[in-house]
Structure formats: C-alpha cells, structure tokens
Structure 1
Amino acid sequence: MSTQVDSKMVAVRSLEIMSTGSRADFDAVIHPDATNREARGEPPETRMRGPEGFHATALWLRTAFTDMRHEILHAADGDLVCLDTIMVGRQQGPFVIYTSEGEVDQVFPSSGKMFSVAQTHWVRIPESMVIEHWAARDDLGRAQQLGWLSMTPA
C-alpha cells in the first residue's frame, strides 16, 4: 500500500472518530504535537496539542450533535489530504461557541433538528499520523437549518 493511500485512510479515520471514537482511537491517529486550527472558537481544553485536544473537540461536538457523521464525497491524496465532505447530524444539546480568551460567547439552544452541510477538511499527515487540521465549513447553512437565525428577504 502506498503512503498516499495510507494518508487518505488516516484522514478519513480522523473524521470518523470525531463522532464515535474513544481516546485510544485518537491516540492511534493524532500525532502528540498535532494542531487543530479550528479550535479557536471551541472550549479551552480543545486548544491543546495532540490527541487530548482533538478528543476534547469530539466531546464538545458530541454534547450538541447526535447522529453526527461525515459523508466523504472526494479525497485528494498526499501528505496534505483534502476531504470534501457533507457533515450530517442532529442537534440534541446546546451548541456553545467560545471567545479567543476561552469565555462563553454564544449558546444556541437545542433545536432537535437535522442538518446537512458542506465542509472541506485539510489534514496534514507527514508520518502516518495527523499533525495539522483546518477546515472550511458552511456554518451559516447549519445555523439556518437548525433555526438559530431566520433569514428574511431584503
């Protein structure tokens, strides 16, 4: 199996474990010095490097969303893997966003509604483990689907 195929599999696994993985699953996939660039709006414990921070992100997401999964549409290989996905889930708990200082900024109460939004995840995998992650997400689309804001014609 080539390194490129391994990298793609590791990247896909790093998204799978967000919804169902144990801490041991994160230890197996996430490098001890890994950085999640998306943690800046998450709770302070998610901003740690390595599996501990990534696992904290998963727990934070799981408090708000059930039935969460990523449907992989396309994946580009290499030591930098790009995953084009659709994130699907149901909001069953409050979704909390944090300031850069780690204080609660906004809380969106549970809607019980399903959502399905486009996301692109960039995962750097130099030695068979995730060392860096960042994403482009349709947060506005998720907010609309979950009823967090209502859009009216201008």
Structure 2
Amino acid sequence: MSNFSLSPLFRRSIGFDRLNDLFDYAMQSDTPNYPLYNIEKTGDNNYRIVVATAGFNQDQLEINLENQILTITGKSVEEKSDTSVEFLHKGIADRSFKLSLRLDEHIEVQRADYENGLLKIDLQRIIPEEKLPRHIPIGQKATQRLASPEAK
C-alpha cells in the first residue's frame, strides 16, 4: 500500500497528533489472522476482547499493558511430534502468537478470564471528571463563576 500524508486533514485541528499516530500505526501493521478474536461493545462504556486460544493452558497465556498497547501473548509448548503420524488435514494451529491492540487513553482493563479455550478481557472507558462535557457561560470569567453571588 502506498504511503500518504494525512497532514492536510489536520491543518484546521488542534491536538489530534495521537489520531495521526494511530493512522500511521494502522497503515504500517498488518492485521493479524491468528489467533481469531472478537471486540465486543457490551455497554455505553464497556468493551470485551475475546481471543480464541484453543490448545493453550491458562499458564501459557500472558497479558501486558504498556503505553496504552494491550499485548496478549501465547507461548506454545514444543512437543516432540510423532513421525509416524501423517496429517491428511492439519487445521488446528499450534503455534505461539503475539496480539497487540491499541487502547484509547481512558480505557482501563477491568479483568481477564479464561474458560473453554476463550480468553475474555473486560475493558471500561473511565472518563475523568475534568474531561466530561461542561457548559461554558458567555461573558463571565472563570474566577467570577467560582466566586460567591455577593461578589457580583
């Protein structure tokens, strides 16, 4: 895919540097096809990542979060293969993997569970109070708004 610049889109915007970085990241990395996974929205601010990890034990899986990158790693145990076995069809993947997903700055990992070959990671968007929408009054300075009514 050709490399293109998104800078014309950001000429009239302020503070969208991270969005530009996200586009660059998406254009550089290939979409992984192993392991299979779902990203589910379970509520207004709740999400779940479900990773199909058939053939892995819970102790072979590792979840790390660093710089808003959630990395799920599965380490396959190398077993000596039986040379007398001839596969007519081999559709079950038995290999290590590393799946990395970028999280928004206000997304927090709540819990992770492993059941029936599925790794489930629950996420929640927790927006700090100072980032919530607020009403901006016209014609008043911030200090006047915080002062008592007698000061007006």
TM-score, length-scaled by structure 2: 0.28
Give the greater-gyration-radius structure (CA). 2
Which one has a larger percent helix, Structure 1 or Structure 2?
1
TM-score, length-scaled by structure 1: 0.28
